[in-house]
Structures are given as C-alpha cells and as structure tokens.
C-alpha cells in the first residue's frame, strides 16, 4: 500500500488487515457481519448480530467482503510491548483519582 501514500519520501510501510465488514443481500437491504482481529490475543473473531465466535484466517476474506480495514505498523512494533495493566480507567494501583491523559 506504500504506493498510495501521499508523501513520496515516506518509507515502505507495512499494513496489517485488522477487520473485514461483510454484506449479504442486495442494494435494497441485507445483512452485515464482520471479522475482527483482537489486539490483545491476536486471534480473529466473527461477529454476527449478538453472537461472537472464533474464526480462522482462512475464513476472513470471502465474496461477501465489503470493507477491509488496515492498520499501519509502527516502526517499533517489531519489539514486544508490555501488556496493559488489569486496572480499569488507567487508574494506578495505589487508588489515585488522577485521569490518564496519554
């Protein structure tokens, strides 16, 4: 996808497929489903109304694929990042009420 980047001096970017929206039906109506890759566990999931199930990579791209979502890798994504803390809302474990603005 680097050939479509506006800055001709930009380095060769790498993009990862992170989600696929599917449409079944015609122009007048139909049904939408989606596949999405979980950022935390790296696994794919299939979303169909109120149901979610595991999916394999070979199921992702089908004739029903309508919109594909890509995310550009950052240069430092080759090195593993620490897992986010289990605390909610970015609050520190000490119980401080400071908002995390990062």
**pLDDT of 36:** 97
**pLDDT of 1:** 63
Local confidence pLDDT in tens for the 102 residues of the chain = 667 777 767 777 788 999 999 999 988 889 999 999 999 999 999 999 999 999 999 999 899 999 999 998 887 655 444 444 444 444 444 444 444 444
**pLDDT of 90:** 42
Domain boundaries, the chain: 13-76
**pLDDT of 102:** 42
Q: Which residues in 75-99 are b (16+ Cβ under 10 Å) and which e? A: eeeeeeeeeeeeeeeeeeeeeeeee
């Amino acid at each position: 996808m680097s050939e479509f980047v506006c800055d001709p001096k930009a380095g060769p970017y790498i993009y990862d497929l992170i989600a696929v929206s599917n449409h079944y039906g015609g122009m007048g109506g139909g049904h939408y489903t989606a596949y999405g890759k979980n950022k935390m566990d790296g696994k794919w999931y299939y979303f169909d109304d109120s149901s979610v199930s595991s999916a394999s990579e070979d199921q992702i791209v089908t004739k029903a694929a309508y919109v594909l979502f890509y995310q550009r890798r950052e240069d430092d994504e080759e090195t593993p990042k620490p897992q986010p803390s289990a605390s909610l809302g970015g609050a520190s474990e000490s119980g401080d009420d400071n908002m995390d603005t990062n």
